[in-house]
């Protein structure tokens, strides 16, 4: 999955690194979430780079997860939305997202990259 972050700042800004993520239930309560940077997916394994954004430009990041229960899991947390915190930020935004990541809510995430750079993998 690829998620875009669009700049609404009137002046140029930059992003570098990994976003923070928190799975949320349909009622907005936090669900177990384990964010893994890079991981073994090819579409999350790129190195962090600095992305400079003008007003209206976007930076993307990729995320992946397994929805197959493992170990003693019989089901995986069903999230209705995802709280996203941009790299080096304290504010967040909440986006609707139907996710059921297993492994205690494990999500593998890439660093942000320039939108349209071709860093997103097909099917990613």
Q: Please check whether residue 44 is in contact with residue 63, taking contact to mean a CB–CB distance below 8 angstroms.
A: yes
61 by DSSP, 3-state: which?
strand
Q: Please check whether residue 39 is in contact with residue 21, taking contact to mean a CB–CB distance below 8 angstroms.
A: no
* pLDDT attached to residue 40: 83
* pLDDT attached to residue 120: 53
DSSP H helices, the chain, are 102-105
CA distances to 11, 35, 70, 86, 119 from 58, in Å: 14, 22, 36, 12, 13
Q: Please check whether residue 44 is in contact with residue 21, taking contact to mean a CB–CB distance below 8 angstroms.
A: no
The domain locations on the chain are 2-114
Q: What is the pLDDT of residues 71-123, one digit of tens each?
A: 898 889 899 999 999 999 999 999 999 999 999 999 999 999 998 765 654 44
Cα separation of 26 and 116, whole Å?
A: 32
* pLDDT attached to residue 122: 40
Q: What is the pLDDT of residues 14-70, one digit of tens each?
A: 999 999 999 999 999 999 999 999 988 899 989 999 999 999 999 999 999 999 998
């Amino acid at each position: 999955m690829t998620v875009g972050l669009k700049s609404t700042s009137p002046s140029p800004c930059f992003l570098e690194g990994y976003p923070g993520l928190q799975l949320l239930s349909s009622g907005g309560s936090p669900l177990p979430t384990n964010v893994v940077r890079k991981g073994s997916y090819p579409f999350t394994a790129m190195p962090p780079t600095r992305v400079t954004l003008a007003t209206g430009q976007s930076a993307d990041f990729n995320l992946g997860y397994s929805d197959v229960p493992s170990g003693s899991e019989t089901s995986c947390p069903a999230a209705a939305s995802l709280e996203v915190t941009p790299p080096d930020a304290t504010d967040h935004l909440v986006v609707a997202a139907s996710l059921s990541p297993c492994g205690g809510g494990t999500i593998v995430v890439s660093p942000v990259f320039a939108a349209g750079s071709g860093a997103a993998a097909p099917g990613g």
